[in-house]
Homo-oligomer: A and B are copies of this chain.
Amino acid sequence: MKKIAILGSTGSIGQNTLEVVRRFPDKLKVEVLVAGCNLNLLRQQIEEFHPRAVAVRAEEDARQLRQEVKKTSLKVYAGEKGLEEVVCFPEIDLVVSAITGVAGLKPTLKALELGVDVALANKESMVVAGPFIKKIAARTHAKIIPIDSEHSGIFQCLDGRPLKSVRKVYLTASGGPFLRVPLEDLANKSQSEALAHPRWKMGKKVSIDSATLMNKGLELIEARFLFDLRPEQLDVLIHPQSIVHALVEFRDGSCLAQLSQTDMKIPIQYALSYPERWETTGNSLDLSEVKNLEFLKVEESRFPLLALARRALEVGGSLPVVLNAANEVAVEAFLEDNINFRQIYEVVEYCLMQHSPRDINSLDEVLDIDQETRKLAREFLKGKVKSK
């Protein structure tokens, strides 16, 4: 029985993780649930999965929950401190790190410091603090198993194979909803259009990042650190069917690719079952039904944010932190209808231009640069009005 903690249980990844737990009640036991503010869903999850502890964002929510469950042994925590406490809960075998944004970084680090394996869905952790995370995991021998379909794909292709045998690694991108719209229409694409991802059902932030391809940029950076690759080994292929998730080319010209239906439960389950694979039904891939797998180069003029991300990938140091923070602020502004689609790029470009890249020597530095960049981005936004 694998005992798991799910950080971000009410989000898209969290809910899919619980779907997998439902399939394997004799293999997985939920010990800890961490949610933000979706109390109603958390209540249902508590009732169904009987965790030993939960944490929510606000102290007020925690108080209310404590009141409701006072007849049970459930422990309820709140805030950042609460989050840290539940990650330290004893006897956890695996922490599913699925809180989006930089907020997911601290608990991820905490788990790894304790030597607990992490199923990592929070790509920002790796983007902003990849070298730190890897160092800690190496010290405690905790495993990091990616949940993201592309990184799970790379992980499965590489599994046990020596890094020196790898020539290139391709992450695929569906191209999102704007792959084929005329370039001149891009700037004014609405929120609902940007959210309408053709293949994956995901959270809002990730969906926008998929429409700009920033998602893929962050994934390139994540892959660099996660698998110890050189920037020039990493590339993106547009693949609208989203069946092939990653392709690894070895130094002898032979490639392995990982494929599956577009169902997040597949990589999530793999992260939970690793190194085993557990039998499921109804998710077979019939390529004769799919018929065609299409691959295209990325049009840089269509996805200028990817070029920015590539620069951050190559330069490293503090630049990925800036990239990520600026993008988070920009996407938030877009989702709040304060800027248009094109302006997401402008915010990120501005912040990168204003920043002098430097090496990072501590986690505090990461958090400082993150905060500075957010401030800068918000100031830049104040001067902007949404141009129609």
Contact = CB atoms under 8 A, between A and B. Distances in A.
A279 interface: yes
B237 A252 contact: no
A238 to B, nearest CB: 8
A383 interface: no
Contact of A290 (B244, B270, B295): B295
Contacts of A168: 284
Contact of A293 (B250, B284, B293): B293
Interface stretch (A41-49, A70-78, A223-231, A257-265): A257-265
Interface string A221-259: 000000000000000011100001001011111111111
Contact of A280 (B252, B279, B291, B293): B252
A307 interface: no
Contact of A258 (B238, B256, B261): B256
A24 to B, nearest CB: 11
Contacts of A252: 266, 269-270, 273, 277-280, 283
Contacts of A260: 253-255
A170 interface: yes
Contact of A255 (B258, B288, B295): B258
Contact of A259 (B156, B160, B257, B270): B257
Contacts of A285: 249, 253, 255
Nearest to A282: B253
- Among A253, A266, A291, residue most surrounded by chain B Cβ atoms (within 10 Å): A253
A249 B170 CA distance: 20
A382 interface: no
A187 interface: no
A165 interface: yes
Interface residues of A, number: 51
Contacts of A283: 252-253
A157 interface: yes
A199 interface: no
Contact of A256 (B250, B256, B287): B256
A359 interface: no
Nearest to A243: B255
B256 A257 contact: yes
User: Which 5 pairs across A and B sit closest by C-beta, in order of nearness?
Assistant: A253-B283, A287-B295, A165-B277, A293-B293, A255-B259
Given A247-B259, A292-B292, A293-B294, 19 more contacts: A159-B161, A237-B288, A249-B284, A249-B285, A251-B279, A252-B270, A253-B283, A253-B285, A254-B260, A254-B277, A255-B258, A255-B259, A256-B257, A257-B257, A257-B259, A288-B295, A291-B295, A291-B296, A292-B295
20 contacts: A244-B257, A247-B259, A247-B287, A251-B278, A252-B273, A252-B280, A253-B261, A253-B284, A253-B285, A254-B258, A254-B260, A254-B266, A254-B267, A254-B277, A255-B258, A256-B257, A257-B257, A291-B295, A292-B294, A293-B293
